[in-house]
Amino acid sequence: RGHVKYCGETALQHMDKGYSVAVKKLGTIGVTVEIMRPGTRLPHEISIFSEEELKIQAAQEAAAEEGSE
């Protein structure tokens, strides 16, 4: 499973670029590589939570806030 992002904000923010040159007998070869960083969440990837999951998250956040005070 792979994604190739050529343009837009996604390509600018989440892609690392590399460039190298190889000099061979018959000429010079330039290679450009673009790799998406691991763990990147793309804008079109969404998560849908059930009401129960939202309640659990809210309770965990409230408990974390009480513990930090």
* Helix (H) or strand (E) segment spanning residue 31: strand 27-36
pLDDT tens digits in sequence order for the chain, 69 residues long: 666 777 788 778 888 899 999 999 999 999 998 888 888 877 777 888 899 999 999 999 888 888 766
User: Where are the chain's structural domains?
Assistant: 8-68
* Dihedrals phi, psi of 4, to nearest 5 degrees: -125, 115
Separation between Cα atoms, residue 11 and residue 21, nearest integer Å? 23
HSE (side-chain half, CA atoms, 13 Å) at 46? 3
41 by DSSP, 3-state: which?
A: coil
Flag whether the pTM goes above 0.95.
Answer: no
The distance of Cα 6 from the centroid of its chain, to the nearest Å, equals 14
